[in-house]
Chain A
Amino acid sequence: MDIQNIRNQFPILSRKVNNKPLIYLDNSATTQKPQSVIDAVSNYYTQINSNVHRGVHQLSQLATDAFEEARKSVQEFINAKEHHEVIITKGTTESINMLAWSFGEAFIKEGDEILVSEMEHHANIVPWQMLCERKKAKLKVIAVDENGVLKMQEFANLLNSNTKIVSIAHISNTLGTINPIKEIIDKAHKLGALVHIDGAQAVAHTALDMQELDVDFYSFSAHKMYGPMGIGIFYGKEQLLNKMPPYQYGGEMIDQVSFTKTTFNELPYKFEAGTPNVGGMLGLQAAIKFLSDIGLDQIKTYEDELLNYATLELQKIEGFRMIGNSPHKASVLSFLLDEIHPFDAGTILDQLGIAVRTGNHCAQPIMDKMGIPGTIRASLAIYNTTEEIDALILGIKKTQQMFL
């Protein structure tokens, strides 16, 4: 794989920050966009912009066809059985809120239980918490061990016939842990519980197959997989989606309206109120092509190599403490340096042109559990190099010197 060739496709990677060449290691927050994605969005607005699904005119037809083609690209990419199982949202957070509300209305009653894990980010905690408050249901939390690994025995103990849904991250944004989702899905199904997987951190790093996983719901965002912001996917099994009420009302999701009775459109439109982000969807399609052209297996192999190199080299630094040591990890390196506050370290690294994330990563519960105020997080993508890891290591050493 020619990394330089891949890097060349990302215009932003050649810019400078604080007069230093940008070293972008904040890919778990959002990835940069290749020229093909930027062009797809730009071409949409320069060539075919018009509202979808309702115009008889040529442009509307072109936009509608392009939009529905893009939906099919997503279907293929995640191997969903039906294209109408692919619901278009504005991102993972909206997907999970939609699920929690709509699923909750259809299936949750007093005394039911919902399972999440300690390593979830806020978007996969709070919608469930609010649902439980509304319906007098119980939110149960699967603990994580000191390495950041989900306690599977505890999961088995918590799972019972009252469990209606399990909602777990595929990959933790803070710890990098890859959860054994197939095992979770199979165990939950045996007891009649459904499973939602929050795939925000997984989709750019590992191949997905909805049918093989037999997962009931799966959410992800385009912007974490080289696509545009403001577009995301909510996958659900057809027979479940059909039993769930719409989350929002208006636009294409309506079938018939009168002031006494309104009926709703079919899947997927039932869940797509208002004008969709067509440009964003075409950007997502281009991002899928970008990923597929390289191949997710190739990407995983390269990123694993990079992760192993970084893990090995970083751990040689005195005072370096990795947070999250699961044997199954994606390319996320969360760490602390001596007693240096993550904000201080992040500020100095930024001056060196190195973009990392600091803070609690919108995952306060896991930070509290580990007894730390936050971490410094370097998260890697396909365009990162070992030279950039070396620069990070130099930057860390310089930071340590400044706070000695």
Chain B
Amino acid sequence: MNIEEIGQEIVEEFSMFDDWMDKYNYLIELGRDLEIIDEKYRDQQHLITGCQSRVWLSAEEKEGRIYFKADSDAVITKGIVNLLIRALSGQTAEDIINDKLDFLEQIGLKDHLSPTRANGLSSMVKQMKLYALAFKAKKG
């Protein structure tokens, strides 16, 4: 599936929730389900600082696709990290660079990605795109 299709799938999942509590309960669940990142990546080099919560991100390329792993110290942030990884990990550099992550707006979580939120998520997306750019440049 491409990013847009995954985004639509996520939007459908979230459309089942009637109120904010269900939505946040689901985010908490997603946060807890996030694949545990290898301890070696939870270091200064992979840290994306936010004043509110911290995010760690690592990336690698396999056969023209980029795979991300990430973690956060806050569970709700981790839940959103989970959604971002689901949408962007395993995609091509080109798609990652160009996608605007519209699904986040549709599920009412866009404001969590605002740079002023200082939870590390906005910097994380920027970093993911930078990785994609770097891989693309390396490939020539």
Query: Are A343 and B119 interface neighbours, CB within 8 A?
Result: yes
A403–B75 CB distance below 8 A: yes
Contact between A402 and B28, CB atoms less than 8 A apart: yes
Q: How large is the interface on B (under 10, 10 to 19, 20 to 34, 35 or more residues)?
A: 10 to 19
A402 to chain B: which residues have CB within 8 Å?
21, 24-25, 28
Q: Taking CB as reference atom, which chain A residue is nearest B118?
A: A359
Whether the Cβ atoms of B24 and A348 lie closer than 8 Å is yes
Interface residue count on the A side (C-beta < 8 Å): 17
Q: Is A358 a contact of B20 with CB atoms below 8 Å?
A: no
**Per a CB cutoff under 8 Å, which of B21, B28, B76 touches A343?**
B76
Known contacts being A343-B119, A358-B52, A359-B51, is A18 close to B20, with CB within 8 Å?
yes
Q: What are 18 A-to-B residue pairs whose CB atoms are below 8 Å?
A: A340-B75, A341-B53, A341-B73, A343-B52, A343-B53, A343-B76, A343-B119, A344-B53, A344-B74, A344-B75, A351-B20, A351-B21, A359-B118, A373-B54, A373-B73, A402-B21, A402-B28, A403-B28
How many Å from the CB of B33 to the closest CB on chain A? 15
**How many residue pairs between the two chains, A and B, have CB atoms under 8 Å in the bound complex?**
41
Residue of A nearest to B32 (CB): A403
Residues of B within 8 A of A347 (CB): 24, 76
Minimum C-beta distance from B114 to chain A (A)? 13
B129 smallest CB distance to A (angstroms): 23
Asked if B24 and A359 make an inter-chain contact with CB atoms under 8 angstroms apart, the answer reads no
The CA of A301 and the CA of B56, in the complex, are separated in Å by: 47
B window 3-62: CB within 8 A of A: 20-21, 24-25, 28, 51-54
A343 in contact with B74 (CB, 8 Å): yes
Which residues on B are within 8 Å of A, measured CB to CB?
Answer: 20-21, 24-25, 28, 51-54, 73-77, 118-119
Please tell me if A163 contacts chain B, counting CB pairs below 8 Å.
no
Q: Which residues of A contact B (CB under 8 A)?
A: 18, 340-344, 346-348, 351, 358-360, 373-374, 402-403
Residues of B within 8 A of A340 (CB): 75
Q: Which chain A residue lies CB-closest to B19?
A: A351
**A18 — nearest CB in chain B belongs to which residue?**
B20
Who on chain B is nearest to A374 by CB?
B52
Closest to B119 in A: A343
Q: What 15 new A-B contacts, CB under 8 Å, besides A342-B74, A344-B77? A: A340-B75, A341-B53, A341-B73, A341-B75, A343-B77, A344-B53, A344-B75, A347-B24, A348-B24, A351-B20, A351-B21, A360-B51, A373-B54, A373-B73, A403-B75
State A341–B76 Cα separation when bound (angstroms).
9
Q: A359-B52, A359-B118 are in contact. Are A341 and B24 (CB under 8 A)?
A: no
Interface-centre pick from A18, A341, A343, A403 (highest chain B CB count, 10 A): A343
CB pair A351–B75 under 8 Å, yes or no, is no
The CA of A346 and the CA of B25, in the complex, are separated in Å by 15
Contact A344 B76 (CB under 8 A): yes
Q: How far is the CA of A269 from the CA of B52 in the complex (A)?
A: 40
Residues of B within 8 A of A360 (CB): 51
How far, in Å, is A311 (CB) from chain B's closest CB?
25
Contacting residues, chain B, for A374 (C-beta < 8 A): 52
* Alpha-carbon separation in the docked complex, A359 to B20 (Å): 23
When chains A and B are docked, how far (Å) is the Cα of A129 from the Cα of B118? 25
User: For A359, what are the chain B residues with a Cβ–Cβ distance below 8 Å?
Assistant: 51-52, 118
Q: In the complex, what distance in Å separates the CA atom of A133 from the CA atom of B118?
A: 29
What is the CB-to-nearest-CB distance from A319 to chain B, in angstroms, rounded to a whole number? 15
Within the complex, the shortest CB–CB distance from B27 to chain A, in Å, comes to 9
Which residues of the partner chain B approach A341 to less than 8 Å between Cβ atoms? 53, 73-75
Q: Which residue of B lies closest to A360 (CB)?
A: B51
Q: Which residues of A contact B53 (CB under 8 A)?
A: 341, 343-344
Nearest 9 CB-CB pairings of A with B: A341-B74, A343-B53, A343-B74, A343-B52, A344-B76, A344-B74, A359-B52, A359-B51, A351-B20
Query: Roughly how many angstroms separate A341 CA and B75 CA in the complex, as a whole number?
Result: 7
Contacts of B54 in A (CB 8 A): 373
Q: How far is the CA of A340 from the CA of B73 in the complex (A)?
A: 10
Return B111 CB to nearest CB of chain A, in Å: 10
Closest to A351 in B: B20
Residues of B within 8 A of A358 (CB): 52
Which of A340, A347, A348, A351 has the most B CB atoms < 10 Å from its CB? A347
Return B122 CB to nearest CB of chain A, in Å: 14
Cα–Cα distance between A18 and B76 once the two chains are bound (Å): 18
Distance in angstroms between the alpha carbons of A103 and B62 in the assembled complex: 59
Which residues on B sit within 8 Å (CB–CB) of A351? 20-21, 24
Complex Cα–Cα for A212 and B106 (A)? 60
Choose among B52, B73, B118 the residue with the greatest number of A CB atoms under 10 Å from its CB: B52
